[in-house]
């Protein structure tokens, strides 16, 4: 074995989502962009708010040596102060102090760093399926085993009894993602409280500590439902955040990990997060965009365009008789395939130039994900194809 075979495999295997997107791009070139309905990617379609450009322009007035220099590993102190103050305004006093925040190169870094901070080789980390497939990659790279627990098959809320059954003495963490990719569900306060009860009960019974890793890039994108603040419900929480979706900045890689002051292991987790960032090769989050998020952390996300798409998509598919989970957040619709095999359903959709993502990519059978972070026209114009698809099963 000359090189690292595991990382070779991670690089040589393509993400099935990216493969569908690549097919979509090629097909558009072939038959015209307006004839292909590509719902595969989660790339925000609304532009960053003007405040982002204005913030960058303001920063360019600073001396370059100040603007572009190394920052402390956890981020510029004034930036962390501003973010912490914003969190306290939203979720209550004592939600966060500057020293509780560690700025990262986006949510992927936040999650990878969090896993490396808490797990030891042989530990287990529970994910709620369907789930973002990269979770498994980061969990396994941190040396732990990824344990899938299916969400409730009706509501796609967390099946807390299934979580209880999956916890072992080696369970170090549970990852939740709400608003959820791929389902679009938001876990209710009641559901999270039931999860907290289960985890506390298991911690007490097993004499272990179980961390809840809350992956929240879609927190600002919800449709009239409350997205509960997880650390207020469960004490051993780490919050992983990113501005990829809220400010439409996915390419700039900027986010954070919060170790809430109420986490009983706070004083050991803060250095463990910093140490994990250091050991993986993250030196600091990109300096210019640290300043951008300080300026823009209270700028409301423009969810109107997504809300309009959601409305058109759910109304249209409803009328055609499709069954889907009512989307409460994010920009994904989770639609029941019209046959048990989601891949076969996908192939038939594809033959009609419709490109959702089959649920097998997310660790679950029988559904597809429609990413509606596309143009409104794409949704409206896709309806005849969705109609044909439904009719083909009659």
Q: Which of residues 280-299 bind a copy of itself (CB under 8 A)?
A: 280-289
| Calpha distance 167→242 (Å, rounded) | 28
Q: Looking at 99, 133, 261, 275, which residue binds a copy of itself (CB under 8 A)?
A: 275
With contacts defined by CB under 8 A, name the span among 77-85, 114-122, 318-326, 355-363 that binds a copy of itself: 114-122
Assess 320 for contact with a copy of itself (CB under 8 A).
no
What is the DSSP-derived secondary structure letter of residue 99?
G
Pick the stretch among 68-76, 78-86, 194-202, 227-235 that binds a copy of itself (CB under 8 A).
68-76
Please choose, out of 51-59, 295-303, 340-348, 378-386, the segment that lies near a copy of itself by the rule CB under 8 A.
Answer: 51-59
Nearer to a copy of itself, 51 or 189 (CB): 51
**Binding status of residue 8 toward a copy of itself by CB under 8 A:** yes
CA distances from 207 to 145, 149, 169, 185, 193 (A): 20, 22, 8, 32, 20
Is residue 119 near a copy of itself by the rule CB under 8 A? yes
Tell me how crowded residue 33 is: count the other CB atoms within 10 A of its CB: 12
Report the greatest alpha carbon distance in the chain.
67
Position among 25, 85, 97, 137 found at the interface with a copy of itself (CB under 8 A): 137
User: In 3-state terms, what secondary structure has residue 25?
Assistant: helix
Shortest CA distance to 274 belongs to which of 256, 261, 288, 252? 256
174 near a copy of itself (CB under 8 A): no
Residue count, binding to a copy of itself (CB under 8 A): 79
Shortest Å, Cβ 64 to a copy of itself: 4
Distances (CA, A) of 145 to 93, 120, 171, 226: 36, 10, 9, 32
Q: Does 234 bind a copy of itself (CB under 8 A)?
A: no
Q: Is the dihedral of CA 139, 143, 147, 148 positive or negative?
A: positive
Binding mask 139-168 for a copy of itself (x = CB under 8 A): -xx---------------------------
**Beta carbon nearer to a copy of itself, 16 or 155:** 16
The 324-325 sheet, strands edge to edge: 324-325, 332-336, 367-371, 357-358
Closest approach of a copy of itself to the CB of residue 337, in Å: 27
d(CA 201, CA 262): 19
Q: State which of residues 31, 33, 34, 53 lies at the interface with a copy of itself (CB under 8 A).
A: 53
C-alpha distance from residue 353 to each of 30, 38, 336, 350, 366 (Å): 12, 8, 18, 5, 20
Determine which residue in the list 99, 250, 261, 316 makes contact with a copy of itself, applying CB under 8 A.
Answer: 250
Angstrom distance (rounded) from CA 366 to CA 308:
27
The two tokens of residue 383 are: 């309806």
10 Å CB burial of residue 281 (0-12, 13-18, 19+) is: exposed
Nearest-approach distance from CB 2 to a copy of itself, in angstroms: 5
Stretch that binds a copy of itself, among 56-64, 145-153, 327-335, 343-351 (CB under 8 A): 56-64
112 binds a copy of itself per the rule CB under 8 A:
yes
Both tokens assigned to 217 = 């890039």
Residue 27 or 136 having the CB closest to a copy of itself? 136
Binding mask 189-218 for a copy of itself (x = CB under 8 A): --------------------x---------
Give the contacts of 242 (CB within 8 A, at least 6 positions apart).
104, 106, 107, 110, 217, 254, 255
Applying CB under 8 A, which part among 60-68, 157-165, 187-195, 342-350 lies near a copy of itself? Answer: 60-68
Among 20, 40, 71, 160, binds a copy of itself (CB under 8 A): 71
Binders of a copy of itself in range 82-111 (CB under 8 A): 105-106, 108-111
């Amino acid at each position: 074995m000359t090189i690292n075979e595991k990382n070779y495999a991670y690089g040589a295997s393509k993400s099935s989502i990216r493969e569908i997107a690549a097919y979509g791009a090629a097909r558009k070139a072939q038959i015209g962009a307006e004839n292909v309905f590509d719902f595969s990617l989660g790339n925000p379609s609304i532009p960053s708010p003007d405040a982002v450009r204005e913030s960058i322009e303001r920063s360019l007035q600073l001396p370059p040596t100040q603007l572009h220099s190394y920052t402390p590993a956890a981020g510029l102190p004034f930036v962390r102060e501003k973010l912490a103050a914003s969190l306290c305004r939203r979720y209550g006093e004592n939600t966060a102090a500057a020293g509780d925040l560690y700025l990262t190169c986006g949510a992927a870094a936040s999650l990878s760093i969090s896993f490396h901070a808490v797990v030891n080789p042989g530990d287990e980390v529970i994910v709620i399926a369907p789930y973002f497939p990269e979770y498994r990659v980061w969990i396994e790279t941190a040396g732990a085993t990824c344990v899938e627990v299916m969400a409730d098959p009706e509501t796609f809320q967390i099946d807390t009894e299934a979580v209880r059954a999956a916890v072992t003495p080696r369970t170090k963490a549970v990852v939740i993602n709400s608003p959820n990719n791929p389902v679009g569900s938001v876990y209710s306060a009641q559901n999270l409280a039931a999860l907290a009860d289960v985890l506390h009960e298991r911690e007490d019974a097993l004499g272990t500590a179980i961390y809840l890793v809350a992956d929240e890039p879609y927190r600002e994108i919800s449709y009239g439902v409350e997205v509960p603040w997880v650390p207020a419900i469960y004490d051993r929480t780490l919050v992983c955040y990113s501005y990829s979706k809220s400010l439409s900045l996915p390419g700039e890689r900027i986010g954070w990990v919060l170790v809430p002051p109420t986490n009983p292991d706070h004083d050991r987790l803060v250095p463990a997060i910093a140490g994990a960032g250091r050991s993986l090769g993250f030196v600091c989050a990109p300096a210019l965009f640290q300043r951008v998020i300080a300026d823009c952390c209270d700028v409301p996300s423009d969810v109107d365009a997504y809300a309009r798409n959601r409305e058109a998509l759910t109304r249209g598919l409803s009328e055609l008789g499709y069954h889907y989970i009512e989307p409460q957040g994010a920009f994904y619709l989770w639609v029941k395939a019209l046959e048990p095999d989601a891949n076969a359903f996908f192939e038939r959709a594809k033959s009609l130039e419709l490109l959702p993502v089959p649920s097998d990519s997310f660790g679950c059978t029988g559904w597809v994900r429609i990413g509606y972070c596309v143009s409104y026209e794409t949704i409206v114009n896709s309806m005849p194809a969705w109609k044909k698809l439904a009719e083909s099963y009659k």
